[in-house]
Amino acid sequence: MMTPRERIKAVIHFKKPDVLPWSETFYDETTVTWLMQGLPADRVTMIEWVMNSRDGVLLLNWPAVMGFNPWAYFGCTDFFGCKVPIDVGPLPRYKLRVLKTNDRYEELMTETGAVARRIKKGEYMWYNMPMFVEFPVRDRKSWEEYKRRLNPKDPRRYPKDWEKDAYLEVFEKYQAGNTILVFNGFYGFGAEIMGIPTFNLMFYRDPQLMHEIAAYWEDFIVQTIRDAVETLKDRIDMIYWWEDMAEKHGPCVSPKLYREFFLPHYKRVVSFLKKNKIDRIMMDSDGNINPLLDSVIDAGITGIWPLEVNSGMDAIAVKKKYGNKLFLAGNLDKRELAKGGETMRREIDSKVPALKEMGGYIAGADHLIHVEFTLQKFNEYVEYLKKCLPY
Amino acid sequence: MSVNLLQNIVTTLSELEDSGKIKRLVQEALSQGIPVAQIVEAGLRKGLDAIGKKYEHGEYFLSELLFGAALMNDAFEILEPHLKLAGVENKGTIVLGTVRGDMHDIGKNIFGMFAKAAGFDVHDLGVDVEPACFIEKLKETEAEILALSALLTTTRQEMKTIIDQLSHAGIRVKVRVMVGGNAVTKDFAKEIGADYAAIDAVEGVEMCKRWMMEK
């Protein structure tokens, strides 16, 4: 019997596993809601022994709740199960602080330098996202300032205990899922520091600056990950390349802009990875990414998640068009799955058997499992899907 | 001459040439005594329509849409002092906002920019808007259209609350309700009794124009 890691590795290399791998991601509030709906707390709560208190004064070990592990309970895998611990964010971080507040909202300086306004009331705290009212980069001057926090040689980018042999061993032994290295693609990076409207406008307002930022992004990523990539090589099963560069209608940037501003830099990053035997790169982009797929493949990206049905993504159609140029993950319509019963079964039946035969597919919902998906309906989904996975 | 100049404005806008050029052309049109209403209708709005069509046909994407709207704003800066006296036709009135509990505004803002540029009087109430505020603003402005945005599946239920309140306030028949945002589908719009679900800003504005023509 193959391990979960072996299954994922087989599929992303277009080989046949014994059982089709299945991966999900969960919002924490979904897990908490399910605890209230009867999910056994002792089976999904992760407890670790920590020094108490953490200032190191009291040398006492104490069990603390560190999070949730629904993956083991439901028997699916987590893309982020074993992650290379590199920090690709701004260093030093901005100081997280409340800038202003009133009865309904508070405005916070986030650690990445954006100002976020969020609703304070508990009723809307969960399953909500803040509104970003300001971003750290607006123009050349603010970019030059921000860039100072993107020093790839900053020793804080790697853990204090970065001891290569020990990490090699950890990555070698991990079998519960895939090992992964995560960073933002140029779109994800740019949208995070400028906000979507400004970043998209800048391609026309100041193309020279955008070329410079793209070149810096490339150099920053390669230099930052170099040590880990050259050490761990293909013990890293997959690169997780976050973009979120599409909306329902289509990509946020045209194929023309992609080819001009993204492609040359992407090819160089991918070439560096390939030189180190890492050749599986999964792009995370919501929305309708179809018009960009030719260019994305040209860049060296080899997989896509989550293929949102709501935006018109169809894994079977993508597979038919691109075959083994792309492995695919997700695409089971979360809205249909959450309805349960016949609707859920129809969604699975219409996709999983066909994609299983076509190969290069990791089953799962077409985004994170959201809070409206009840535990009872999710259990129903798990039970039915599991029957469809073995070859 | 004026036809050429107006056509030049259309092309400059639809081909997304630089901001300086569009401003120069609008200034030149004013200097030549072309009526402001004509510059707006036969130049700028036609250019914007062309951008919308290219977006719908998959030639333009979000970046181009945003830049097109920005160019339009640049041109309107030049026209601003002349607009009040110019008799530019108001295409209709829209009350716009993101529903209570939802803080997303990118899609809403793009819709607002395009609707304004298309000649609508847009009252943007912002994000996280209480249902009562929509009702109040609709009564105050006598707007023909209510455009609601929600990104989240949890907050889209607010749209139903607002539509119910329109009925209670006795103004549902006077107002066309359009819903939009990532969480919204055509089926959902039908389910909650909205008149239309817009897949994107351009399609939404086109439907608003059609509704006003039907009146």
User: Each residue of A176-218: pLDDT tens digit?
Assistant: 999 999 999 999 999 999 999 999 999 999 999 999 999 999 9
B201-214 and B106-117 helices, crossing angle to 10°: 40
Considering chain B, tell me which residue range(s) the CATH 3.40.50.280 domain(s) occupy. 92-214
pLDDT greater at residue B178 or residue A66: B178
Annotate B127-196 with three-state secondary structure: CCECHHHHHHHHHHHCCCEEEEECCCCCCCHHHHHHHHHHHHCCCHHHCEEEEECCCCCHHHHHHHCCCE
Q: What is the pLDDT of residues B130-142, one digit of tens each?
A: 999 999 999 999 9
What average pLDDT does the structure give for chain A? 94
**How far is the C-alpha of B105 from the C-alpha of B149, rounded, in Å?**
8
- In which band, very low, low, confident or very high, does the pLDDT at B42 lie, cut at 50, 70 and 90? very high
Cβ–Cβ gap B185/A104 under 8 Å: no
Sheet of strand B120-124: strand arrangement = B120-124, B92-98, B145-149, B176-180, B196-198
- The correct CATH number of B92-214 out of 3.40.50.1390, 3.40.50.280, 3.30.413.10, 3.40.50.880 is 3.40.50.280
Q: Is A164 on the interface with B (CB under 8 A)?
A: no
Q: Tokens at residue A205, please? A: 């307002």
Please state the length of chain A: 391
Distance, in Å, from the CA atom of B149 to the CA atom of B109, rounded to the nearest integer, reads 10
Q: Which residue, among A328, A324, A318, has the nearest Cα to A364 in the 3D structure?
A: A328
In A, residues 281-310, which contact B (CB 8 Å cutoff)? 291, 310
pLDDT of residue B154: 78
Nearest to A276 by CA among A80, A84, A90: A84
Q: Is A239 left (phi over 0), alpha (psi -120 to 50) or beta?
A: beta
Asked if B66's CB is within 8 angstroms of A200's CB, the reply is: yes
> Could B154 and A372 be called an inter-chain contact, meaning their C-beta atoms sit closer than 8 Å?
yes
Give the confidence band of A64 by pLDDT, cuts at 50, 70, 90. Answer: confident
d(CA B1, CA B3): 5
Contact (CB<8Å) A204/B63: yes
Residue ranges of chain A that CATH labels 3.20.20.210: 4-89+138-388
Average pLDDT in the B66-77 region? Answer: 92
Q: What is the mean pLDDT of residues B89-103?
A: 92
Class of the B2-83 domain?
mainly alpha
pLDDT of the residue at A126: 61
Q: In this structure, which CATH number among 2.40.50.140, 1.20.1260.10, 3.30.1330.30, 3.20.20.210 belongs to the domain A4-89+138-388?
A: 3.20.20.210
Q: Would you give the DSSP letter of residue A27?
A: -
- Examine the predicted complex and report whether its ipTM is higher than 0.95: no
Across chain A, where does the E strand assignment appear?
45-52, 60-68, 82-83, 97-101, 105-109, 115-119, 131-134, 179-184, 238-242, 281-285, 303-306, 327-329, 361-362
Nearest-by-CA chain A residue for B109:
A197
For the stretch A242-289, pLDDT in tens is 999 999 889 999 999 999 999 999 999 999 999 999 999 999 999 999
As annotated, the residues of chain B forming the CATH 1.10.1240.10 domain(s) are 2-83
A198 and chain B in contact, CB less than 8 A: no
Inform me whether the pLDDT recorded for A124 exceeds 60: no
3-state helix, strand, coil in chain B (%, to 5): 60, 15, 30
Mean pLDDT, residues A294-322: 97
* Contact with chain B for residue A201, Cβ under 8 A: yes
